[in-house]
Structure 1
């Protein structure tokens, strides 16, 4: 069995070593460890391997809290101390900026930390009916597999949701078509208000709906149903109930949302990330600030609350409508405007049409904002850009354009540990351009 000393960790949380000049990525291994491993995939330039035995353990290795670690694909870093996880993610960000963008930030921002467990207030949970395994399975996907892990608890879900998993298995197993419920979407709002949206591929019977109502009453949750696309989502029970919301207390903002709207999964980190973003952006009265990929107004409304006029742009007309509703509900409609537009097709003209912009916040999905940064021109070059990213590689690619082509300086960058126990890297960067 081959033995190696681990040099670093990659962006997926795998230990990295080099054997005869070839990179080898070892699942479950940590930097500084001497390990035995078994190769399961060989390629000309790299190999993938599974950890067999730790000969010399890292001081940062910890006992995984979840009994499904290594089986469930939801978390890959539970064996690493939580503080060390943030350090690894910071290194992933810095490596991406350098290797992809040939950039180093003037300042490395302190990592933003929050709860390590029970933080996931948004999730899509898989469901499968597998008679050979005793009936319905409810949980996340297995590692390197499309199968649903056989789980009865989950340490990153809120405790009351984790405790509900066995009852969810029983609920689905007792439906008329248990094999036609592929997914449950979870949304938890303020005061632990919990909504479960059940995707069903076949019409439900009256008896099925009664089972859902009984479950909702027993567990104090709302049950919604989705038969096809997002526009088919409807509340089943209780028929009259409060809507979902979350608050940003530092900015006196309350955000209403529907269970299938995009919101950040980690409420505590979102609040801290908001503080960092507003400190970096420093919106002031008299300024016009763009919030691109604005969603339902998560960053827009704090910008408006601080006195600037915010111009929010989002591809989803539904979310634009929700942002407008939230602006009105918070008394901020006078200095908030929102537009629906496909920012992946942004042009110089479409950005110029937004009017003069003093500053800009960009919060794109994983694909990044390459069309936006390329479309920036002398007609529209904000003095300051804050970029919130969920993918270090696309942030680095876009940062290279901002710095090497558009004349900006990367003043600082740092991570927010939005998804503890996972390899997901959320980050924030500040770009400034001399007047």
Structure 2
């Protein structure tokens, strides 16, 4: 329930009471004898879904804009008179006015926002370097990125240019600060005793996950945008949703910073693409869902203009996502090709081992190493496959043994390979 309190200006009490009567809501009136500007305070308990139509009726009736209208959440209502009201207003979303107020509150002061963002990025960067998922998730709890994303979308939908501009600015500058923070930390840690000699960030699983994004990565961003709007409009689970949005943005941004610190342009490109696609997708889904939920500007005459502006913004977001998705498509295909070659090589060597076993041969293909990276798919560099072969003492292998192995593996993979066969003499007892 909500308690709507209207500070009624002089000579407008009858207007407010008639509006409340027409809406069929209960109210109480407190006369104001201390100040000449207001003549009464009218308190009206209503369900959340009734707030927006009630405020709209008051505006239509001509309530002075200089009046105060305060909407507060009522923790507990003890009355059997609320059942009828609740049944009449069955919507679950909050009013436009509450939405706008909450969105503004979620975009904190700049000092608070950037302070929390730097701290969360620092923790996330440490989590990436340590390959610690728990540390990364812990950092996301304090990351304040949910507010700006929602503020930008709410500002567009309700025609609040200041709120929209603030939300967009905080997102762009915030992600830039996250990248710079991670880069500075990376520069500071590189070559110190805190990291092993020759440390390569591209070999860390948590970092590698952010530099090999595919289309499935969009599900996190799209789902986070939907969940953020639901949590805002229904006031549920905002902390957990904020974590999901932060996971989609902060770790990839930190990865971009580490790519700058270590001088890996491919890391900057792929992780940077993931950051941008996630940010745009979150904003796109928030815009569409807020509009679909029925939120519109307060002034009816501005609806057409806001609709046109929203459509143009949606088209721009879709176009940007489509362009950036070219990189995701390339990464998706490249990842598939490298994984397919590795799978086919491993499967074929297992088949060759089974053939040796069936022939009572002690020859064994023990293990392989495959040097085939994502970038190799697009540079036409041949995969290099190293095969370790155990053979009994004294057994001679044909001179073309390595060529035969290569032909088998090329036939299985459909790719030209460079095959290195390393022979080892196996001694077995018993």
Q: TM-score, normalised on structure 2?
A: 0.24
Q: TM-score, normalised on structure 1?
A: 0.24
Structure with the largest fraction of helix: 2
- Structure of greater Rg: 2
Structure with the largest fraction of strand: 1
The structure, 1 or 2, with the larger RCO (C-alpha pairs under 8 Å, 6+ apart) is 1
